[in-house]
A and B are shown apart, each in its own frame.
Chain A
Amino acid sequence: MTRSFRESLLLIVGVIAAMVLSLAPFLWFVSIGFKPQVEITAIPPRLFPSDVSFTAVHEAIFTFGLMHFIKNSVIVAGCTTIVCVVVGCLAAYPLARLRIPYRRVILLGILAVAMFPQISIAGPVWRILRALGWLNTYQGLIIPYLALTLPLTVWILANFFGQLPSELEEAALVDGAGLFQVLTRVIMPLAAPGVFTAALLTFIYSWNEFFFALLIMTERDRQTLPVGIALFPGEYTMPWGEISAASTIATIPLILLVLFFQKRIIAGLTAGAVKG
């Protein structure tokens, strides 16, 4: 479609506005972490720093112990992602491609579970974990995360699996392959982009999750990044420089994922949502 001059102008203004509104607040916040301490709390505030300082970054890493929060987040988000994708693939395969009874009921049930607000399961989940002695343990957080992420993962994977042509699968079955082999040798490689998308979304979700992390990880040694940043200790001021530096470092992996895999993420978020 060709655009008139007015439409082009409107588009340019729109693009710029969208970019600025999306990025400017965060870029400003990032800049706080590199401002000299006196400028962070200047009244009136200064928009642009006069000098670059790495004290806050240094403080965030060494005094606040950022690396140890990152370690916990990597372990929790990483394990959640791996287990979630494995369990998700296993479950999505029969739901998308096999003839099993109550398929529809299960799919609807999964959709319903995805709607559960965290608060409605928080109390009992906490009690279960306490009974198991799993509060303040990695598995104690990973398993509730699985319960939260699996429904959408299965939904996305089933959607991707469902779109695959059936010829190869049938050929493998004729050759005498079992269903498990069909899943791992045929379906998963074919749907690799979909599997990757599901993994990405699960990772981002569990990297960012706060509510359960706050409830389950009460010991500082086990806390994940969001909890660390939300409960950032301050003695005589809110250490905004350090908070900003820690936030920047914690967000870098996510920004990279978005930059490189923007298409996959969009595909995942909209999978099954709207169909022509």
Chain B
Amino acid sequence: MSMRKAYSESLTGYLFLTPLLLIIVVFSLYPVVYSLFLSLHRIILSLPSLGETFVGIDNFVAFFTDPVGRNSLMVTLVFVGVSTALEICLGIMIALIIHESFRCRSVVRAAILVPWAIPTVIASQMWRFAFNDQYGIANYLVYGTNVAHYDAWLASPVSALAVIILADVWKTSSFAALIILAGLQTIPDELYEASKIDGAGAFQRFFKITLPLLKPAILVALLFRTMDAFRVFDLVFVMTQGGPGDATNVLQFYGYRKLFAEGMVGYGSAVSIVVFLLVFSVSIIYLKFIGTGILEKKEARA
């Protein structure tokens, strides 16, 4: 290829990339930088006479010293940790099942995808009603017709968080399962056959062969699920509004309230930057473990 041709190829290439870059720069990159800028200022919408003073990292200090902020961080970490762990475990189980070949397998695969496809808001309303203190199916399944024992699940700090986690696990385990399934499909059958001949049982085969070979797929699933779990919002908005007593006040909801309901633009932006940094650093750690394999392989193909 001549120099000129290569030059025109990259010129056209960039021409093709322009709309994408424009949208991403204006509506993703610039906003993050702008959020960072806002987070270093004190801006209170209902007190315009205070102006927009530069306060350095005061908002971040306030966030980490404020019991409400720290609680919000803790709740988020618990939610992320527990829900992703459960999702990965369930995901592995589901993946093992739908990896087997049996009749109507595609029907089963489609059925498992249904929770993933349902809008989160709808799933939230569903679980909210299921755990209703009077008419909810959960009480019926647990206590039967013993009406006097019916529990208000969303009124107690621990059970409210547990219900939110359950709703998230129900909705997104199938996603984790699909990623893990893709990993399963890359394990050659011969490995199993060989170990079967060696007399290994099903459990041994799972822990000796399947799990180690699945590690990359599990890490990718973990990466995606963790990133998503940090952004939990819809479930909390519909089911608890952060209550009872802030027990489900996750960061994205807390930031939303600060920014859009209370007009604390500076502090709210600081919360949003904290979420951003958390997600980013967790992602980097995972990517370190996974290696840049994703990218390298793509290049090799391209």
Q: How far is the CA of A29 from the CA of B110 in the complex (A)?
A: 19
B109 touches A243 (CB 8 A): no
B20 touches A117 (CB 8 A): no
Chain B: residues with Cβ within 8 Å of the partner, total of 111
Shortest C-beta distance, A119 to chain B (Å), equals 4
Whether A274 contacts B186 in the complex (CB less than 8 A), given A115-B283, A147-B28, comes out as: yes
For window 134-167 of B, CB contacts with A under 8 Å fall at 134-137, 139-140, 144-145, 147, 150
The 7 closest A-B pairs by CB, nearest first: A94-B13, A147-B27, A124-B31, A121-B31, A91-B20, A120-B276, A124-B34
B186 touches A100 (CB 8 A): no
Known: A43-B135, A94-B14, A115-B283. 11 other contacts (CB 8 A): A21-B170, A29-B129, A43-B150, A119-B255, A143-B23, A158-B298, A162-B301, A178-B12, A229-B121, A244-B126, A275-B297
Residue from A14, A41, A124, A211 in contact with B38 in the complex, judged by beta carbons closer than 8 Å: A124
B106 touches A262 (CB 8 A): yes
Whether A87 contacts B23 in the complex (CB less than 8 A), given A119-B275, A274-B220, A275-B293, comes out as: yes
Which of chain B's residues have a CB closer than 8 A to the CB of A150? Answer: 20, 23-24
Shortest C-beta distance, A161 to chain B (Å), equals 9
Whether A121 contacts B32 in the complex (CB less than 8 A), given A19-B111, A275-B294, A276-B186, comes out as: yes
Query: Any chain B CB within 8 A of the CB of A97?
Result: yes
Contact mask A72-98 → B, CB, 8 Å, 1/0?
000000000000000110110111111
Query: Any chain A CB within 8 A of the CB of B10?
Result: yes
Q: How far is the CA of A269 from the CA of B220 in the complex (A)?
A: 12
Q: How far is the CA of A28 from the CA of B14 in the complex (A)?
A: 52
Which of chain A's residues have a CB closer than 8 A to the CB of B27? Answer: 121, 125, 128, 143-144, 146-147
Shortest C-beta distance, B221 to chain A (Å), equals 8
Query: Any chain A CB within 8 A of the CB of B74?
Result: no
Which of chain B's residues have a CB closer than 8 A to the CB of A23? Answer: 111, 114
The residue in chain B whose Cβ has the minimal distance to the Cβ of A247 is B122
B119 touches A250 (CB 8 A): yes
| Stretch in B54-62, B63-71, B81-89, B233-241 with 4+ CB within 8 Å of A | B233-241
Q: How far is the CA of A232 from the CA of B129 in the complex (A)?
A: 13
A118 touches B178 (CB 8 A): no
Shortest C-beta distance, B11 to chain A (Å), equals 9
B234 touches A210 (CB 8 A): yes
The residue in chain A whose Cβ has the minimal distance to the Cβ of B97 is A14
The residue in chain A whose Cβ has the minimal distance to the Cβ of B125 is A243
Whether A226 contacts B16 in the complex (CB less than 8 A), given A124-B38, A159-B298, comes out as: no
Shortest C-beta distance, A250 to chain B (Å), equals 7
The residue in chain B whose Cβ has the minimal distance to the Cβ of A215 is B260
For window 223-249 of B, CB contacts with A under 8 Å fall at 224, 227, 230-231, 233-234, 237-238
Which of chain A's residues have a CB closer than 8 A to the CB of B115? Answer: 22, 26
Whether A101 contacts B10 in the complex (CB less than 8 A), given A45-B139, A162-B298, comes out as: yes
The residue in chain A whose Cβ has the minimal distance to the Cβ of B130 is A25
User: Could you list some 8 contacts between A and B, CB below 8 A?
Assistant: A11-B97, A90-B16, A98-B13, A122-B259, A128-B31, A179-B9, A207-B119, A226-B234
Contact mask A216-249 → B, CB, 8 Å, 1/0?
0000000001110110100000101001100100
Q: How far is the CA of A95 from the CA of B79 in the complex (A)?
A: 37
Which of chain A's residues have a CB closer than 8 A to the CB of B230? Answer: 117
For window 22-51 of A, CB contacts with B under 8 Å fall at 22-23, 25-26, 28-29, 32, 40-45, 47
B252 touches A93 (CB 8 A): no
For window 247-302 of B, CB contacts with A under 8 Å fall at 251-252, 255-256, 259-260, 265, 268-269, 271-273, 275-276, 279-280, 283, 293-295, 297-299, 301-302
Query: Any chain A CB within 8 A of the CB of B17?
Result: yes
Query: Any chain B CB within 8 A of the CB of A107?
Result: yes
The residue in chain B whose Cβ has the minimal distance to the Cβ of A163 is B301
Which of chain A's residues have a CB closer than 8 A to the CB of B77? Answer: none
Residue from B20, B144, B186, B283 in contact with A87 in the complex, judged by beta carbons closer than 8 Å: B20
